[in-house]
Amino acid sequence: MPREPDSDALLVQRAAAGDQRAFELLVIKYQRRVERLIGRMVRDVDLVEDIAQETFIRAYRALHQFRGDAQFYTWLYRIAVNTAKKFLLELKRDPTVSDSALASKDDDDETFRPKNEPSTDETPESVLAAKEIGRAVSQALSELPDDLRQAISLREMDGLSYEDIAQLMACPIGTVRSRIFRARDAISAKVRPLLERQTGKRW
Amino acid sequence: MKQLNGLNITETRPQRSDQCLQNSELVSALMDGALDGDALARALDVLAEDDSADGTWDTYHLVGQAMRFEGESLQAHDPAFVSRLREKLAKETPELIVASPLPIRAEGQFGLKKSAANDPWWRRVAGLASVAVVGVLAWQGMGWMGASRPAETTLAQQSVASAQMDAPQALVTADGAASVMIRDPQLDALLAAHRQVGGANALQMPTGFLRNATFNEDKR
């Protein structure tokens, strides 16, 4: 599996030194992935978001403990799992939370399941949207000029560094950086309308 | 229709300013880990002022995910989630660390692998080395203590015996410090040629006490 290109280590370093903006970029990058992870442990959608918030707050507090021996997401993953487990334990111990409070509104339905039962995060709509985005990306990639397509593919799919790509393509690093940016931007332009339809937000 | 190195850009982003494009290029370089130090700090400052930077950062990552077919659902981040978290983080006082000049090692960072001097592995090595040194010194110290007592006894006995026989010899035996002879080839050749002057043992390493020196002095 190709290595995911990222700048997590640099952003963590900045965030640990007090740069909250750097941490927010990490939150934007991993919010959905953390929520999907928690969603596999906790059914309540509201609770998923609360646990995700708590996960990021705990991670922020503990940033100085991140030594970079593992990838940032691996570290964040452990925090998310532990936070979710703690929430579930507290929920079970809380005497003010009755079974009826934990149950969903349509608990008369024979398909009723307790709120805290693990569930899948995938819905037909999300699967369809992901396929649609995937097709748009492939289409945009195929329409790119060869040099841009090669540069972005070497970076995103093969995980090569700018230096390696510059060697392979026999061009300066600045050119590699520019080609990758232009490729990303051109593909994003095709994807953005689909994302706007998903979230109802215009970037 | 404007062409930029073969890429038609007017159709895809007709209303974007140069500043916006520059910021987007910064985002692209940032997500590839191509910025560090001052460049990284400047980029974060610039992007903090750009409302569209979060969306660009998110979309570029989604494009990467889609290209790698990671089998995950592709969904943009929720700006409201980040806003709520921002408010909570504002109340937090994170334990700050001094920014190290060495970047934090991570597998995803271009294979960069630098180990600091205070790396746990080096700490363990240093600890073991110091224990070994202390052990060797202790062992040698015990050896010296055990060996020096009989030698002192012998030396004292010899001194007493010598003092009874010959007073000048006792004075010389007081110098019991071991020494290393510094060899001079020319001097050695000269002494070998004039053995009757220097004595038979002139070319030998000196012993712990110079009994021959006083003995030869009397012969002269």
Per residue in B21-79, pLDDT tens? 889 999 999 999 998 888 898 889 888 888 889 999 999 999 998 888 766 667 888 88
SS3 label, residue B4: strand
Q: Is B85 on the interface with A (CB under 8 A)?
A: yes
Confidence of residue A67 (pLDDT cuts 50, 70, 90): confident
Which residues are paired to B23 by β-bridges? none
Using a CB-CB distance cutoff of 8 angstroms, which residues of chain B are in contact with residue A67? 104-105
Q: What is the pLDDT of residues A148-165, one digit of tens each?
A: 999 999 999 888 999 999
| pTM over 0.80, yes/no | no
Q: Work out the minimum CA distance from B126 to partner chain A, whole angstroms.
A: 20
B14 touches chain A (CB under 8 A): no
CB contact under 8 A, A188 and B59: yes
Considering only CB atoms, which chain A residues are within 8 Å of B96?
16-18, 64
**How many angstroms separate the CA atoms of A72 and A40, rounded?**
20
Q: Rounded mean pLDDT of A23-36?
A: 92
Nearest by CB: B103 against A9, A15, A19: A9
Please tell me the total number of residues recorded for chain A in this structure.
Answer: 203
B22 contact residues in A (CB cutoff 8 A): none
* Highest mean pLDDT (candidates A82-96, A122-136, A164-178, B16-30): A164-178
Q: Given CB atoms, is B99 within the 8 Å cutoff of chain A?
A: yes
Dihedral over alpha carbons A128, A129, A130, A131 (to 10 degrees): 50
Contact (CB<8Å) B5/A182: yes
Is A22 within 8 Å of B77 when comparing Cβ atoms? no
CA distance A6 to A9: 8
Mean pLDDT taken over chain B: 68
Question: Residue B156: its pLDDT value, please?
Answer: 46
How do residues B165-203 score in pLDDT, each as one tens digit?
Answer: 444 444 444 444 455 566 677 777 777 776 655 555 555
Chain B contact set for A139 (CB, 8 A): none
Residue of B30, B63, B97 lying closest to A188 (CB–CB): B63
Q: Measured between alpha carbons, how far is A8 from A13 in angstroms, rounded to an integer?
A: 8
Q: Are A44 and A116 in contact (CB under 8 A)?
A: yes
- Is B49 within 8 Å of chain A by CB? no
Looking at the complex, report in whole angstroms how far the Cα of residue B103 sits from the nearest Cα belonging to chain A.
Answer: 7
Distance CA A111, CA A123 (A): 17
Which of A21, A152, A184 is the closest to B44 by Cβ? A21
Helix (H, G, I), strand (E, B) or coil at A14: helix
Chain A contact set for B29 (CB, 8 A): 177, 181
How many Å lie between the alpha carbon of A77 and the closest alpha carbon of chain B?
16
User: Which of B8, B18, B54, B107 is the best mutation test for A, with the most CBs of A within 10 A?
Assistant: B107
Determine the Cα–Cα distance for residues A99 and B104; give it in Å rounded to an integer: 47
- For residue B115, the model assigns a pLDDT of 54
How many residue pairs from chains A and B have C-beta atoms closer than 8 A?
Answer: 237
Residue B179: in which H helix or E strand, if any?
none
Q: Is the ipTM of this complex over 0.90?
A: no
Give the bridge partners for B63, in sequence order: none
Q: Which residues contact B42 (CB under 8 A, 6 or more apart)?
A: none
- Among A84-98, A183-197, B99-113, B181-195, top mean pLDDT goes to A183-197
